[in-house]
Amino acid sequence: MKSGFIGIIGRPNVGKSTLLNAILGEKIAITTDKPQTTRNSIRGIYTRLDGATEGCQMVFIDTPGIHKPKNKLGAYMTDMALSTLKEVDVILFLVDSDLSQGPGDPYIVELLKQTETPKILIINKIDLLEPEYFRAMYEEYEALGVFDSIYGVSALEGKNVPALLEKIESLLVEGPMFFPDYMVTDHPERFIVSELIREKILLYLEDEVPHGVAVEIESYSEEPKITKIGAVIYCEKKSHKGIIIGKEGKKLKGIGKSARLEIEGLLGTKVFLEIWVKVRENWRNSDFAISDLGYKKE
């Protein structure tokens, strides 16, 4: 049995969560077209058993996008992503453009030069890249001499993901199974439910409002034929509360219905979901609020 931990890093919105979901074959990390969607490290567990004792278990850690922080929450997210470099057996670095597109990728490359952990560069979204551009990107990153391998994938379509998994497995050594083979994440259902609600907020709202919201599950009751969930959406301004609720409550109803349907698919049962919206001013710059809402452990 081979086993190990694999960190997925990259700039915001390069497709890290989409890749994790493609590897696992089911959704455990929320995905939107907005940057900085992921706030916590999400662990996804891929297990392949060959008989009773052979096979491989890979524990993937999907990290927040590495970016220049604008508040304490952003600083926490970036620190979390960077700490992953010290804790894993293999690093996957996702990019979707060449090094000239901004300071983010060159900054990450410099960090990667400082670690001896095996590194795989993944050029994502190849379904959207012209062949000539992909070839130029490949040669540019290869010339750096930093990466053990370079793969082009389409996380959205699952293209080349099996070949990527084979390569990762070749870099791992014999080890124990860290989790039972039926587990695909070590996060409790309450966490995934809160993330699904937050995803719908990101999809329904525009501009800055979505990044100023947090979701807390206040109640979670599993009954024989239904699961009852009470959730609170925290926002930073009174004006944001009105935007989230929408005219005659239509926006909040849309968020709730969309989230409920996906939660029912996740849990395999009927769901009664109640959502309230409360104002918690400037919570992203409050150490107490960040910790209280589950984004930082003391």
Residue 164 pLDDT: 95
Q: How confident is the model at residue 39 (pLDDT cuts 50, 70, 90)?
A: very low
Q: Where are the beta strands (DSSP E) in the chain?
A: 2-10, 42-50, 54-62, 90-95, 119-123, 149-152, 173-174, 214-222, 226-235, 270-279
Give the residue from 216, 261, 263 showing the smallest Cα distance to 235.
216
| 144 vs 109: CA distance, rounded Å | 9
Q: How confident is the model at residue 297 (pLDDT cuts 50, 70, 90)?
A: very low
114-172 confidence digits (pLDDT tens): 888 999 999 999 999 999 999 999 999 999 999 999 999 999 999 999 999 999 999 99
55-88 confidence digits (pLDDT tens): 999 999 877 666 555 556 556 556 666 666 778 8
| 30 vs 47: CA distance, rounded Å | 21
Residue 105 pLDDT: 87
Question: Where in the chain are the domains?
Answer: 2-174, 189-292
Are 233 and 215 within 8 A, CB to CB? yes
Q: How confident is the model at residue 44 (pLDDT cuts 50, 70, 90)?
A: confident
| 272 vs 213: CA distance, rounded Å | 22
pLDDT mean across residues, the chain: 82
Instruction: Identify the three-state secondary structure at position 94.
Output: strand
189-292 belongs to CATH 3.30.300.20: yes
14-30 confidence digits (pLDDT tens): 888 889 889 988 776 65
The CATH-assigned architecture of domain 2-174 is 3-Layer(aba) Sandwich (3.40)
pTM: 0.66
